């Protein structure tokens, strides 16, 4: 066993209302989830126990039956119920309850990407094992009419599969590619008229085909991004758990989907859903992912789309791989030509081909409504700020933002949005639209203001090289996490900008009812798109190393990640270990492995009590009995992180790590420490001995104190010192 010591790092680091009586808020029942820990051995007994617990606080057997919404008994022990405030308090005080929290509504975090990640069609595969891997997705359902889900030549589902396919409503059924599809609509506040696993949004089809869609030649969006569409593991199977509806994704349904998925025999979970959380036990994703980890299931979750602001990252439990969004080496540009011959290329995904050589052009200032209140600016082209007669039939120049649907309703035929800040993400709009830099924006406005009949034309978008890649998307949520100050999140980034993947013909390209474009493919951006890339990468690694633990796969992906080319001011708080490199992750050499006990130790270090942990694990665990690991974070995590408030202070921190050799026998591992310029002092090793033993055994060595780092100090590369300027 190796304990590697490093010192002194510098780093900045809906409620549902259901009432039996009217009156004050104390008499209104609201939906809560009551989490009781590990799944019981006898499910029937668990339901009875849940009812007895509920009855004991409600004091009425019949009302208790009406109050219970759903029971979770397959993979963990919990129930959802409508409760009064005093009943919630009584349950919190009950020693059998791990946690109780209100059911919230969470939101979705809304091709060529695999070639970009060095996984071409010819990449080495272990098809026999890959076809036995099942990837479960919690999302908006699946559209079976998309070519990505064709099962021609695909064998029967793996024998381990225990899930269901709900053939109901307009959903026609599963096949050998999509082997499972279920829906969850237990939230009484959002009942659906004809619920089914059918995807009428497009999001679920997009994410699931990114993971495991079959190879489809000639795929495109109205001719854009034409090429071969495929998932990262095209031979793997898909199991869809529809937990999201137009209103959002209820915690009640999320937990129900997780309860089934973990029990169904899946290998990998991909969850592109997020929301606020105040702890690891009041979040259905964190709860479900913990129980998934205990059964050897890898979980990838999206980091969120609230960047570039700090403290916005979501899904941050250490047993989850938290995924941010990065660019690819190509982007979509929309050519623009003014009537005076000046040309430029804006950023957007424009599927429209112009029918004329030129169109009338105006600006928001010229087209401003006469009823615009004094002091109000028309430049953001928002509702009520423009005059229909001045907009109709014209392209409108706006600044910083525009309500494109509103402009279309006035008869506008296009929008140019002049922005000061650099934009890195394209979007599809209901009419031709493009973001232009303020320099060309000023050129355009000068032309408009000096010309009697200004004109312009916007052409169909083209895909062009993006030399700056890889960089983190501006919308990708940044750390630090609000739940703990000892781990770095997000863990990693993957392509999440302009991703072409399957879609649903039941949803328009923009989701607007006024949009008459429907296709089986769409180009979308978001951490929702990056998350399934990592889920697929994990499945790919698992196909070569089927017995590796989720944390071993996570470590392999993190320690072999590609360094980001363009680093913003938040550096690792934006991208974690870097961008995934799936083929390199097959041979990481050394890994940082973690067991359930390691996560329990982490929770103890975070202040969770022994009683709560005992219910959580059913192993008679208490913090005093957990072996000590030591160090600042007490966790064998692939990254080191220290957060402090005073940038002028001197901080000393100790980190211990144990590494496991999964590479060749008799290997020597060396590394170089690259320290940021604000790292001023170290206490490391004068003499370090490293040697390797047989694969899957512990990589051993020792380190003694020193005041400086000698040249070529041998520390494994994943042990990096990070800082901020």
β pairing state of 29-38 and 76-83: antiparallel
Tokens standing for residue 192? 């659906």
Burial class (CB within 10 angstroms; exposed 0-12, middle 13-18, buried 19+) of 42: exposed
Query: Would you say 424 and 497 are in contact if contact means Cβ atoms under 8 Å apart?
Result: yes
Task: Tell me the CB-side half-sphere exposure of residue 177, using CA atoms within 13 A.
Answer: 26
Helix (H) or strand (E) holding 285, with range, is helix 284-294
Task: Report the C-alpha gap between 289 and 283 in whole angstroms.
Answer: 10
Out of 75, 205, 528, 685, pick the active-site residue.
528
Helices and strands, number each (H, E), in the chain: 16, 32
Residue 578's alpha-carbon distances to 263, 391, 448, 556, 651, in angstroms, are 33, 46, 45, 12, 25
Of 70, 113, 139, 264, which residue is the catalytic one? 139
Cβ 553 vs Cβ 542: under 8 Å: yes
Tell me whether residue 387 is exposed, middle or buried, using C-beta atoms within 10 angstroms of its C-beta: 0 to 12, 13 to 18, 19 or more.
middle
Sequence-distant (6+) residues with CB within 8 A of 53 are: 34, 91, 94, 96, 97
CA distance 157 to 179: 6
522, 501 Cβ separation under 8 angstroms: yes
Task: Tell me the three-class secondary structure of 155-167, residue by residue.
Answer: CCCCCCCCCCECC
Identified catalytic residue from 203, 206, 533, 682: 203
CB-CB neighbours of 458 under 10 Å: 25
Q: Are strands 343-347 and 330-338 parallel, antiparallel or unpaired?
A: antiparallel
Alpha-carbon dihedral angle through residues 272, 550, 657, 483, given to the nearest 10 degrees: 30
- Count the alpha carbons within 13 Å of 267 in the hemisphere toward its beta carbon: 31
Among residues 262, 277, 381, 332, the alpha carbon closest in space to that of 497 is found at: 332
DSSP letter, residue 251: H
- Spatial distance between the Cα atoms of 322 and 272, rounded to a whole number of angstroms: 10
Instruction: Classify residue 459 by its DSSP letter.
Output: P
Do residues 432 and 452 make contact, with C-beta atoms less than 8 angstroms apart?
A: no
For residue 615, what are the CA distances in angstroms to 52, 71, 387, 610, 626?
18, 17, 63, 9, 15
**Three-state SS letters, 293-309:** HHCCCEEEEECCCCCCC
Give the integer Cα–Cα distance in Å for 548 and 542.
7
Closest by alpha carbon to 267, among 123, 116, 157? Answer: 157
Q: Where are the beta strands (DSSP E) in 178-313?
A: 178-183, 216-221, 224-229, 237-242, 244-245, 248-250, 268-271, 273-274, 298-302
Distance CA 89, CA 376 (A): 49
Q: Check if 619 is active-site.
A: no
H/E element holding 396?
Answer: strand 395-399
139 is catalytic: yes
Q: Which positions are catalytic?
A: 139, 203, 528
């Amino acid at each position: 066993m190796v304990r590697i010591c490093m010192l002194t790092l510098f780093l900045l680091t809906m409620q549902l209302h259901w009432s039996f009586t009217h009156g004050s808020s104390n008499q209104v029942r609201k939906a809560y989830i009551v989490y009781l820990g590990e799944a019981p051995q006898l499910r029937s007994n668990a339901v009875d126990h849940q009812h007895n617990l509920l009855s004991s606080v409600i004091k009425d057997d019949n009302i208790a039956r009406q109050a219970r919404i759903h029971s979770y008994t397959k993979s963990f022990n919990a129930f959802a119920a409508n409760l009064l405030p005093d009943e919630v308090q009584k349950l919190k005080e009950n020693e059998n309850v791990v946690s109780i929290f209100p059911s919230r509504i969470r939101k979705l975090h809304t091709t060529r990407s695999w070639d970009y990640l060095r996984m071409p069609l010819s990449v080495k595969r272990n098809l026999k094992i890959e076809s036995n891997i099942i990837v479960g997705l919690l999302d908006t359902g699946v559209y079976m009419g998309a070519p990505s889900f064709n099962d021609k030549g695909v064998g029967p589902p793996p024998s381990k599969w225990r899930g269901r396919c709900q053939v109901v409503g307009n959903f026609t059924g599963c096949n050998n590619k999509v082997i499972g599809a279920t829906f969850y609509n237990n939230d009484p506040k959002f009942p659906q008229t004809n619920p089914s696993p059918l995807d009428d949004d497009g999001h679920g089809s997009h994410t699931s085909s990114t993971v495991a869609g079959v190879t489809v030649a000639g795929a495109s969006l109205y001719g854009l991004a034409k090429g071969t569409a495929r998932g990262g593991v095209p031979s793997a199977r898909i199991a869809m758990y529809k937990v999201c509806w137009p209103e959002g994704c209820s915690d009640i349904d999320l937990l129900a989907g997780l309860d089934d998925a973990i029990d169904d025999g899946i290998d990998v979970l991909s969850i592109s859903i997020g929301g606020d959380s105040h702890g690891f036990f009041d979040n259905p994703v964190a709860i479900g992912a913990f129980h998934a980890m205990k059964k050897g299931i890898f979980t990838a979750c999206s980091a969120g789309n609230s960047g570039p602001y700090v403290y916005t990252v979501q899904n941050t439990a250490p047993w989850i791989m938290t995924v941010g969004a990065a660019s690819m080496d190509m982007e979509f540009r929309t050519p623009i030509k003014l009537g005076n011959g000046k040309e430029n290329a804006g950023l957007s995904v424009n599927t429209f081909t112009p029918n004329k050589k030129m169109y009338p052009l105006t600006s928001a200032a010229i087209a401003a409504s006469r009823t615009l209140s004094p002091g109000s600016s028309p430049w953001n082209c928002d509702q009520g700020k423009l005059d229909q007669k001045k907009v109709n039939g014209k392209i409108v120049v706006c600044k910083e933002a525009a309500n494109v649907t509103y402009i279309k309703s006035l008869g506008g035929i296009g929008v140019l949005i002049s922005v000061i800040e650099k934009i890195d993400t394209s979007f599809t709009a209901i009419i031709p639209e493009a973001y232009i830099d303020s320099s060309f924006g000023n050129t355009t406005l000068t032309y408009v203001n000096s010309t009697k009949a200004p004109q312009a034309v916007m052409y169909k978008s083209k895909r062009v090289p993006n030399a700056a890649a890889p960089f983190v998307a501006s919308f990708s949520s940044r750390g630090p996490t609000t739940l703990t100050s000892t781990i770095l999140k997000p863990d990693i980034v993957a392509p999440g900008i302009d991703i072409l993947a399957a879609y649903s013909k039941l949803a328009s390209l923009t989701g607007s009812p006024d949009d008459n474009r429907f296709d089986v493919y769409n180009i979308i951006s978001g951490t929702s798109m990056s998350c399934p890339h990592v889920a697929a990468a994990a499945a790919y690694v698992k196909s070569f190393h089927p017995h590796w633990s989720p944390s071993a796969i996570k470590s392999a992906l993190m320690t072999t990640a590609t360094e980001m080319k363009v680093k913003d001011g938040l550096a690792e708080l934006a991208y974690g270990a870097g961008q995934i490199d799936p083929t390199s992750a097959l041979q990481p050499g050394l890994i940082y492995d973690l067991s359930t006990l390691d996560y329990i130790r982490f929770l103890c270090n975070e202040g969770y009590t022994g009683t709560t942990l005992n219910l959580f694990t059913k192993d008679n665990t208490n913090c005093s009995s957990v072996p000590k690991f030591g160090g600042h974070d007490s966790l064998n995590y692939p990254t080191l992180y220290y957060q402090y408030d005073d940038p002028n202070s001197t901080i000393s921190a100790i980190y211990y790590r144990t590494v496991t050799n999964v590479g060749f026998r008799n290997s020597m591992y060396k590394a170089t420490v690259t320290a940021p310029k604000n790292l001023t002092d170290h206490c490391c090793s004068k003499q370090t001995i490293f040697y390797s033993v047989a694969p899957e055994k512990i990589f051993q060595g020792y380190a003694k104190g020193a005041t400086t780092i000698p040249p070529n100090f041998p520390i494994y590369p994943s042990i990096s010192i990070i800082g901020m300027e």
